Structure 1
Amino acid sequence: MSSILLCSAPLTGHVVPMLAVGKALIETGHSVSILTGNKFARRADSAGITHIPLPPECDFDEHNMEAAFPGRSRRPGPLRSRFDLERIFVASMSAQYRAVERIIESTSVDAVAAENLFMGLIPLLSGSPASRPRVFAICTSPLMCTSIDTAPFGPGFPPSSTRAGRIRNQALNSAFEHGILRAAQSSADRQHQQLTDTPIPDFVLNWPILADETFVLTTESFEYPRSDRDHRLTFSGPILSTSSSDFTPPTWWNDLDGDRPVVLVTQGTLDNGDLNRLMEPTIRGLADQDVLVVATTGGRPISDVSATAENLRVAEFLPYDQLLPKVDVMVTNGGWGGVHYALAHGVPLVVAGTTEDKAEICRRVEISGTGINLRRGTPRARSIATAVRRVLDDKAFRTRAQELQRDLSELSASATIAATIAGASENVTPPSGSQLH
């Protein structure tokens, strides 16, 4: 039996996939612990995973970010992303690393796996592979690493592998690393020097490809092509939870089986503080359309939805594995999990997001042909309605979404990642089928 340490920043969308990997490892007889925020202790315990709390200086409540990081909410999308990288994730590196170091020194750890916003493994990777456990990176968001074929991660620039495009990419990547993100890179380098007496080995967002193996939680056909892709990088598919068997449908559930196309609109569970950014314009724009609109508030009270319409049905939460087979188009601000739930069910998308990594996710929807990117965080009602109608009328979007659905159905992320980690920690070859594309 091997001992595996999982690490995650205290963000639900990053912790939950790590817990799924941990559960798969436990089911094959391994001992698993997770270093993450205090609020996830109960989830870890219910999965049979030992919870180790993050140090207070790098723990925070994702639902009250303004309290932990004053001024964050006032920054527009791109500036907020830069703020997050510097003030939240890079700033946590030293405390995270020291916590990992204490665990490794006090217990027998055979392998360590971290999601891509947990920067505390960068100093660990600077040492000789013989002097540390095997290290795995799990990208729970689009691949952020620099490539000659892609522009910098964040603004949602399209990729390009033409000669002119690569010149553009090189110039922009340099400008981001040495200009726009210079403070974040300098902070990471300064911490790294203090911890290891050596400079940071690469641009901070490239750290996952320094790991022994790297997993990206999507299918290759949803990511940008990279001619310089590292051979240690595996596209494993997303990790999506299923609903419990005790789901009680709302009274209007049978309306979804009528003749009208069903349009789902959601702002997820985090970026839903202002429903007038996307949900309410969608409701207003589709009010006179021959569709049924289902709005899920992500936990906010139904009464918070002020827009009304005859064709509107509202719920706080609905299980996607039961809802999406009935949906024709999903309108979303581009959360990684929600987009992949839609694609896993062959549902085309209309996306509108600019905060966190959403501009990048929305651009991937556009480039993959699985939906329409409105390229705004607060689109107008008419623009949303026009995009929804186009997706409904042009079957190419659904056809492409169904192609990705088939790709995703052939992948099993938690089993693949768990088998690879377990095999490496025991110095054996992973079971057949665990080495993917």
Structure 2
Amino acid sequence: MSRFLFVAPPLAGHVYAAGAVASALAERGHDVAWAGPETTLRRMLGDGMTVYSTGMRPYRGQRDRGFRAVRSLWEGFVLPYATFTLPAVEKALAAFGPDVVAADQHALAGAVAAHRHGVRWASLAPQSMELTRPFHALPKVEEWIRRGIDNAGLSIGDGADPRFSPHLVLAFTSRALTGAHDFPPHYALVGPALGTRAAAPDFPWDALDPARRAVLVTMGTLAEDVARDFYPRMVGALRALEGRVQAVVAAPPGAVPDPPPGTIVLPQVPVLALLPRLAAVVCHAGLNTVCEALAHGVPLVVAPIKHDQPVTAAQVVAAGAGLRVRFGRSGADELAAALTAVLDEPGYAAAAGRVRDSFAAAGGAPAAASHLERLAASS
């Protein structure tokens, strides 16, 4: 049996994907440990695991958009989080002695520590932004990111990029969603890694109305500070569809003003358990939410805000599995029209079904675990 050390940032979409793969490895008898903020990891994944705590660096919400959002993500989180956690990750690696480190692309400390200690590592790509190089046509942006990595002391030498392992890159998507990209042979597109959640929030299942089509509205945990203007417009759209649609809205208390009767508003919802009952999802185009929906063949209305979300939104539209609306400017009428279209026009559900089938064929968490096993065996 082999030993695997997982390093992921304390963000739900990143931790849940890595956690599903870690669980698959543990079920096969391998030794698995984590390096990260212990309280956050245990809250998301449960208590039955080994955690080498790195502590937590506070992360502020962002109102920036476009390249400014990319800049604030890297300067405000990715780079300082990596430099803050690197000493603890190196200690974890020395104490645990892994055969392979599985490092999220936004947890650079995992890749850097593995490189320094001569341990093979795999890059985990839970987003499309890094995977498909959206700034390829903007070399100054790519150079700015590379320079930031170098200036933070996170370079791994030989011109290599700590976001992209030379051994294995695991991407939680499929070609049906990414489109035709010429990925290197050590890239494995395994589809979404969906596992059990340690503590699914309570949900009033009896409140779902079987006579109406259920729709989930969620704008992600990192967008709460900028999404408050979106919710009133979404409420207007839901009122226009009140007789045929029942919305489940994942939003902070007080963020959704005067919703239509029967609307369920909760800070957190059990998304995976809810998806089989949904007819559509309205979201910010975060890859985790998009892939969870498409893994169940549920079409989408996507309103991207920042970071990788415009890239993912474009992929959803290109796949025919949903419609894109303007997050900052779409009014209630436009939102209602988009939601009506994905609910009523069968092509969107059919395309979502094709992506679902491609995800199933890619293998998900068990396939990712197999790739990591082969990497460990080659060490």
Residue in 1 that maps onto 2:250: 297
Distance 1:44 1:348, change over 3 A: closer
Residue in 2 that maps onto 1:211: 166
Identity, % of aligned pairs?
A: 23
Offset, 1:97: 3.8
> May I ask how many residue pairs the two structures share in their alignment?
377
Could you tell me which runs of 5 or more consecutive residues in structure 2 were left unpaired when the two chains were aligned: none
CA distance in 2, matches of 1:264, 1:418: 30
Offset, 1:266: 1.9
Offset, 1:365: 1.2
Offset, 1:32: 1.4
Q: Which amino acid aligns with 1:237?
A: G
- Aligned pairs (5 A) from 1:114-129: 114-124=103-113
Distance 1:120 1:284, change over 3 A: same
Alignment match of 1:177 (pick from 131, 134, 142) = 142
Offset, 1:217: 0.5
CA distance in 2, matches of 1:45, 1:351: 28
Offset, 1:401: 0.5
Residue in 2 that maps onto 1:265: 217
Residue in 2 that maps onto 1:112: 101
CA distance in 1, matches of 2:294, 2:186: 25
Residue in 2 that maps onto 1:60: 57
Structure-2-length-normalised TM-score: 0.87
Tell me if 1:360 matches 2:311.
yes
SS in 2 for 1:328: strand
Contact 2:111–2:121 at 8 Å: present in 1 too?
A: no
Residue in 2 that maps onto 1:14: 14
CA distance in 2, matches of 1:308, 1:19: 35
- Aligned pairs (5 A) from 1:375-394: 375-394=326-345
Report 1 or 2 for greater relative contact order, CA contacts < 8 Å, sequence distance ≥ 6.
2
Contact 1:217–1:235 at 8 Å: present in 2 too?
A: yes
CA distance in 1, matches of 2:222, 2:77: 16
Structure-1-length-normalised TM-score: 0.77
Distance 1:231 1:314, change over 3 A: same
Contact 2:52–2:92 at 8 Å: present in 1 too?
A: no
Residue in 2 that maps onto 1:329: 280
CA distance in 2, matches of 1:224, 1:97: 35
Contact 1:292–1:312 at 8 Å: present in 2 too?
A: no
Residue in 2 that maps onto 1:158: none
Contact 1:239–1:414 at 8 Å: present in 2 too?
A: yes
Tell me if 1:103 matches 2:92.
yes
Residue in 2 that maps onto 1:240: 194
Offset, 1:215: 0.7
Tell me if 1:189 matches 2:150.
yes
Residue in 2 that maps onto 1:431: none
Q: Which amino acid aligns with 2:239?
A: A
Contact 1:96–1:119 at 8 Å: present in 2 too?
A: no
Contact 2:122–2:165 at 8 Å: present in 1 too?
A: no
Tell me if 1:225 matches 2:180.
yes
Offset, 1:29: 1.6
CA distance in 2, matches of 1:265, 1:45: 24
Query: Considering only CA atoms, is the larger Rg found in Structure 1 or Structure 2?
Result: 1
Contact 1:287–1:310 at 8 Å: present in 2 too?
A: no
Q: Could you list the per-position Cα deviations for residues 77-104 of structure 1 after superposition, in whole angstroms to 9, with x for gaps in the alignment?
A: 5312211113311233344443333333
The CA RMSD over aligned residues, in Å, is: 2.9
SS in 2 for 1:225: coil
Alignment match of 2:297 (pick from 319, 340, 346) = 346
Contact 1:126–1:201 at 8 Å: present in 2 too?
A: no
SS in 2 for 1:73: coil
Residue in 2 that maps onto 1:201: 159
CA distance in 1, matches of 2:13, 2:175: 20
Q: Which amino acid aligns with 1:426?
A: A
Distance 1:40 1:394, change over 3 A: same
Offset, 1:399: 0.8
SS in 2 for 1:270: helix
Q: Which amino acid aligns with 1:312?
A: T
Contact 2:235–2:256 at 8 Å: present in 1 too?
A: no
Offset, 1:187: 2.8
Contact 2:125–2:131 at 8 Å: present in 1 too?
A: no
CA distance in 2, matches of 1:191, 1:216: 26
Alignment match of 2:79 (pick from 85, 90, 108) = 90
Distance 1:252 1:425, change over 3 A: same
Distance 1:119 1:385, change over 3 A: same
Distance 1:383 1:18, change over 3 A: same
Offset, 1:390: 2.1
Offset, 1:405: 1.3
Contact 1:335–1:358 at 8 Å: present in 2 too?
A: yes
CA distance in 2, matches of 1:123, 1:326: 43
CA distance in 2, matches of 1:238, 1:215: 10
Distance 1:245 1:393, change over 3 A: closer
CA distance in 2, matches of 1:75, 1:249: 35
Contact 2:285–2:302 at 8 Å: present in 1 too?
A: yes
Could you tell me which runs of 5 or more consecutive residues in structure 1 were left unpaired when the two chains were aligned: 67-71, 153-168, 429-437
Distance 1:246 1:223, change over 3 A: closer
Offset, 1:281: 1.3
Distance 1:280 1:145, change over 3 A: same
